[in-house]
Amino acid sequence: MPLPQPGRPAAVCVALLFYSLFLEPTLVLAFNLDTGHVIRKDGEPGSLFGFSLAMHRQLNPDKRMLLIGAPRARALGKQTANITGGLYKCEMTQSPHCERIEFDSEEDVRVENKENQWMGVTVQSQGPGGKIVTCAHRYQRRSFVNTPLEYRDITGRCYVLSQDLTIDSLSDEDGGNWNFCKGRPRGHEMFGSCQQGLAATFTKDYHYVVFGAPGAYNWKGIVRVEQKNNTLIEMGVYDDGPYEVGDEHLLSPELVPVPANSYLGFSLDSGHGITRGRGLTVVAGAPRANHSGAVVLLKKESEASSRLLVEHTLHGPGLASSFGYDVTVVDLNGDGWQDIVVGAPQFYMKDGDVGGAAYVYINQAGRWDKITPVRLNGTKDSMFGLAVENIGDVNQDSYEDIAIGAPYDDGGAGKVFIYHGSAQGITTGPAQILSGKAHNTRLFGYSLAGNMDLDSNSYPDVAVGSLSDTMSKYLQRKSTSQNIVAFQQTFCESHAEKIKSSFPKRKERKHGLTSRVMFLNKSRTETDFQLNGTLDLRGQNQKSCIKITAKLKDNIKDKMRSVPIEVSADIAGTKRQKARNGLSQLMPILDSSQPSKDVIQVNFVKEGCGRDHVCRSNLKMEYKLYYKQSNLDVYSPLPVNNNVPVFHLSYERKDLALRVTVSNMNDDDAYEAKLLGTFPDALSYSGVPNIVPIICTANLNGSQAECELGNPFKRDSKATFYIILSTVGMTLHTNEIDINLQLQTTSVQEDIVPVKVKAKVIIELPLSVSGEASSNQVSFGGVVKGESAMKTEEEIGSLITYTFRIHNLWKSSVKASLHIQWPKWSKDGKWLLYLVKITAAGPEDVRCSPESEIKLFLQEASASRTRREIGERITVGRMSSMSDKKKVLVSLCISSRCRFTLMGNGLSPPQTCDGEIRCVVLKCPLQGMDGTSLELRSRLWNSTFIEDYASTPNLHIVVKASLVLHTQAKNMILRTPHTDVTVSVSPEGAVAQHTGVPWWIILVAVLAGILILALLVFLLWKCGFFKRSKRDDSVPSYHAVRIRKDSPEHQDGKVKLDLLDKKPWMTNWMDSESYS
C-alpha cells in the first residue's frame, strides 16, 4: 500500500463536486462546482490528516459533518505513546479548524502498545443517526513485557462510536472491544500479524459491521462479518454470526479462497442485489492475489453456520496491477442490480501512456461469469484508481455516479475524476476533472467520500482528501438544460429553481455564403442571421419556451444543402448573496450532460427522386487493393494467394492503394453520398489523387477518412478513385490488415452493409549480403611440403582474401547473423583453404562462432603438429556430425550448399560437404548491421592441390555466405539472403604434366594426308586442269580477226594465200553488217 513518508504535512480537501468531460487541463470547465469560493480546513502537520474520510449526519440534534482520519496524529495526554493517530470532525463552515474526537485515551503498557498504531487509518459512518467505526490496524498486543520471553502481535483494533461521536457505556457495541484476532494462535502463519481494521465498513442493511484483516494466515487475509444489533428479532433464531472466511471455529487457512500474500480484506464494500440470490454480498479486494489482484464476492453459508463462502471471483488484468486496491458498489444504470467498480492503481500498458485503471463491471442480472468490464484509464504514473467511491446521483438524472482519485497525477498534485452513470452503464468520458494544483495541494484524491448532503442543498456532495495541510470544499450548483423542438423554432429550457437565462439564436452560414434565411422581428442592431433573447425560468422543474419566426429569402440558388439553425444558451450574470448557513450562495450553471449549443437542419425538397418525393438510391461498391510505386502514380494490383491479397512491403513499395468504384444505377439520386473508411493502426490515410473530383477528409491520426461522392450522387453515375494509405504504422509484427468500408447516404437504401477488406502482409527486408575475393584466379605449383616443415605463412600457398558486406537500407532492428560455409578439408582430411584471420569492420565488433574453431584457424602453423593430430581432429569432427547433425557449428558441415566444384575437360558435378569436401559453418552475429563487413584472410593449401588436383587444369572453389534472421515472425523475407564467391584455381606450368603425342596417331595423320592429296590431283586431272591449249601461227596471238565466208580468199573452207591483199581489219562485227 503506497503511503506518504512520515513527517510530511497532512491535510484533506473536501470537495462537493460535479465534474465535466475528460479534456486537457486548459479545456476543463467546472460543472456543478463553485470554484470561486473554496472552504479550507487545516490539519496537524505530519499527521496524515485526510488519509481517510467519511460523511456523517447526527440526527439528535441535527448536525452534518465530515470525519477525517489522521493516523499519524500525536497521542492524547494519558497515553505513554508519542504517535497514536486520531479522528477529527469538521463542521461545514468557513472556519479552517477541525475538532479532535477524544477516545482511546488510555494505554496499559503491560498488555498493549499504541505507538504508531495508526488510529484513523479507516473511518466509516453507518448513515444518518447511525454508528461510526474507526480502526488502528497496527495496534499491538504484548505479553511478558520486559522479560526475555516478551512478544508482540500486530492484531489491530477497532472502535465503534455512537452517532454523537461518544462511547455509550450502556451499549455493548460501543468501545474498542472489536479485536477478534486477540487470543488466537500466534505467528504470521495464523493471526500474529492480523492487522484487523485496515478496511472496515457497515453493510447497507444496517445490520452488520464488516472487518478486513489482510495479515492473517501468512497474509492470505480474511473477512469477518459481525452483527451490530443484539435483539432476538434481528438475530433470527438466536444466532446470527459472526461469519468469517476460514470459519471462526475451524480457523483453517485452507478455507481461504486466495493464496498466501494476497491481502484479502484490503478493501471492502457490500450490497444486496449483487448476485442472483439477491442476498447480502460482501465485496472484498485482494490486491496481491496471484501477483495481479482479485476481488472476491462472499456470502453467508447459512444462518446456522459461521463461514463466508465464495460466490464469484473477479481476477486482475495484469502483473502487479494491484487490482482490488479499492472497491465500491454502485447502481450505475438504475436497473436495481448493483454494479462493482474496482481500482487497479498500478496497472500500466507498455506501449501506452496509461498509469492506473478502474474496472467497471455492469451487473448482468447476477451472472458475473459473462461480464466484460469497461476499463477507465489514467495517465502515466498517476495511480489512477487508488480511491474509488460511490458519490450518489450528483446530477439528478436518476443514475448513481462515481469518483476516482489519481493522487499522483499532474506531477503529484493529484486529480479527481467524476464519471456519470447512465442507462447504458457508465459514461466513459469523465464529466469533470478537479486538480489539486489549483489549491496548492499534494496527492489530491488520496481518499474520497460522498453520497450525502452536507450543506443542506438537496444535492449529494463529494469529499476529496489530500495529504497536504489544507482542506477544500466545493459546493454543488443547480443545473439548467435546454430542449429544441423541430423547425417550428420553439426553444425550451428548464431549471430546478428560479434563475434568469439569456441565449442567442443563430443561423450559421456554411462555406462563407450569404445567408439564405432571415429572422423576423429582429432589432435594428442585429444581423439577418442572428437573434438574441432572454428567458426567465421561474417554476421549479418547469419549462419556458420561446417561438422565433424565420423567412426564406427569395431567388436563392443553393437548394441542395440544408439550412442549419443553431441555438446556444448561457446563464445571465447575477450577484452572489449569503446563504442562511453563512456560506456563499450557490450560483446556477448549465447542465454539462446536455449540450449548451444545438443545431437543427432544415432540408429542401430534393429533385431527382420519385413521385413520392422519396429518394431511393442503389449504391454499389467494388474494391481492389493495389500497391503504388514510390514517387510515381503507377498502380499495380496485389497478388492473390488463396483468394486473399498479399501486400509485399518493401523499400520501393511503401504505399498501399485502395481502388474503389461506386455506382448508383437504375434508381434515384443519392443525397449526401459518402464513403467512410476505417483503417487499422498499421495504416493511415494519405490522400486521393487530384485526377478525380473526390474530396476526402481524415481525422487527426488518419485512422478514418470520409470521402464525399456527391450531393446528390446522380442516378446512373459511377465514380472510380484511389485512396492512398500510408504504411508508416506497420511494424515487423504486422501479419495482416483489415480495412472497413461503409457507404452512407441520406437517401433511402436498406441494403447498404459494411465491407471488410482483408490482406496479408509480407515484409521484405532490404537486408542483403555481397561478397568478393581479392583475386578471381589463383594458381598452385612447386613441390609438396609437409605441414611440419612450413615455417612461414607464405609457404602454405596463394593468398585469398574474402570480403562479405552487409547492406541494410531500412536500418531495421531485426537481429540476424551471417553464416559462412567454409571448405576446410578434403574428404581425406587434407587442408583445402587454411583460414588465417577474420577481421570485422562496422559500427560494432563481430565475433564469429564457434570460437574453438576460430581460434584454431587463427593460430600459426606449429612444427609440433603431426599428421596424426590432424587425423584425430578430423575423426572427432566426423563423430560429432554423425551423432548430432543439427549441431553444425561444432561439427563438420553436411549441407549441400557448401560446394567445391572441379572443372576439367568437362564440367564435373558439385562435390558436397558430406561427399568430397568437408566444411565448417561460421556463425557471425550482426549487431549494427548496416555497413558491417567481414574479411576472411586465407591461404590455398598448395600441397593438397599438387597431390590431388595437379592433373585437373580447371577447377573452382565456391564459398557461400547466407543471412539468417533471428525472429519468430513468419511474414519476413530477405531480398538477397545469400551470395556465392567463386575463385578459379589452376596449376602452374612447372606442375602441368604434358605428355608426347603417340606415334600411331602421327602415322595415321600422314597417311590420311597423302590419300587426300592423291584424290585431289585425280579430280583436277579429270577436269583437264593439266592440258595445254593450241594456237594458229598465221594469226597473231594478240589479234582476233574474222573473214567472211563469201570472200574469194576463202573457198571450200580453205584460205588461198595468193589472193590475199591488205584489207582493213575489223575487231568485231555482226553478220547483218556490211562493210567495204
Grid cell locating 312:
464469484
Phi then psi for residue 551, to 5 deg, are -130, 140
pLDDT at residue number 302: 77
Q: In the 8-state DSSP scheme, what is residue 249?
A: T
Over the stretch 312-345, which tens digit does the pLDDT of each residue have?
Answer: 999 998 888 999 999 999 999 999 999 999 999 9
Residue 902 scores a pLDDT above 60: no
Which one has a higher pLDDT value, 454 or 1042?
A: 454
User: What is the Cα–Cα distance from 460 to 438, expressed in whole angstroms?
Assistant: 23
Highest mean pLDDT range out of 372-381, 467-476, 649-658? Answer: 372-381
pLDDT at residue number 347: 95
Which are the contacts of 60, defined by CB distance < 8 A and separation ≥ 6? 129, 163, 164
pLDDT at residue number 1027: 76
Phi then psi for residue 347, to 5 deg, are -70, 140
Single out the residue of 21, 17, 18, 15 nearest to residue 427, CA to CA: 21
pLDDT band at 556 (very low <50, low <70, confident <90, very high): low
Domains of the chain: 479-602 (2.60.40.1460), 619-753 (2.60.40.1510), 765-987 (2.60.40.1530)
Residue 1051 scores a pLDDT above 80: no
User: What is the Cα–Cα distance from 934 to 802, expressed in whole angstroms?
Assistant: 8
Residue 438 scores a pLDDT above 60: yes
User: What is the Cα–Cα distance from 944 to 787, expressed in whole angstroms?
Assistant: 11
Report yes or no: 87 and 68 within 8 Å, Cβ to Cβ. yes
pLDDT band at 879 (very low <50, low <70, confident <90, very high): very low
Which one has a higher pLDDT value, 801 or 841?
A: 801
Q: What is the largest distance, in Å, between two alpha-carbon atoms of the chain? A: 196
pLDDT band at 592 (very low <50, low <70, confident <90, very high): low
pLDDT at residue number 1044: 58
pLDDT at residue number 591: 67
pLDDT at residue number 808: 79
pLDDT at residue number 560: 54
Report yes or no: 818 and 918 within 8 Å, Cβ to Cβ. no
pLDDT band at 74 (very low <50, low <70, confident <90, very high): very high
Q: In the 8-state DSSP scheme, what is residue 323?
A: B
Highest mean pLDDT range out of 362-376, 455-469, 1040-1054? Answer: 362-376
Through-space distance between the first and last CA atoms of the chain, rounded to whole angstroms = 152
pLDDT band at 1053 (very low <50, low <70, confident <90, very high): low
pLDDT band at 650 (very low <50, low <70, confident <90, very high): confident
E strand intervals along 407-541: 415-419, 421-422, 425-426, 432-435, 447-452, 461-465, 479-485, 490-495, 499-506, 517-519, 530-537
pLDDT at residue number 165: 94
User: What is the Cα–Cα distance from 7 to 108, expressed in whole angstroms?
Assistant: 27
User: What is the Cα–Cα distance from 193 to 173, expressed in whole angstroms?
Assistant: 25
Over the stretch 135-161, which tens digit does the pLDDT of each residue have?
Answer: 999 999 998 888 888 889 999 999 999
Residue 550 scores a pLDDT above 70: yes
Residue 530 scores a pLDDT above 80: no
Query: Could you tell me the pTM of the whole model?
Result: 0.54
Over the stretch 219-274, which tens digit does the pLDDT of each residue have?
Answer: 999 999 998 655 544 544 445 778 999 888 889 999 999 999 999 999 999 999 99
Residue 1048 scores a pLDDT above 60: no
pLDDT at residue number 215: 96
Q: Calculate mean pLDDT across residues 525-535.
A: 72
* pLDDT, averaged across the chain: 79
For 180-189, 428-437, 541-550, 879-888, which range has the lowest pLDDT when averaged over its residues? 879-888
pLDDT at residue number 284: 97
pLDDT band at 951 (very low <50, low <70, confident <90, very high): confident
Grid cell locating 836:
588465417
User: What is the Cα–Cα distance from 434 to 415, expressed in whole angstroms?
Assistant: 6
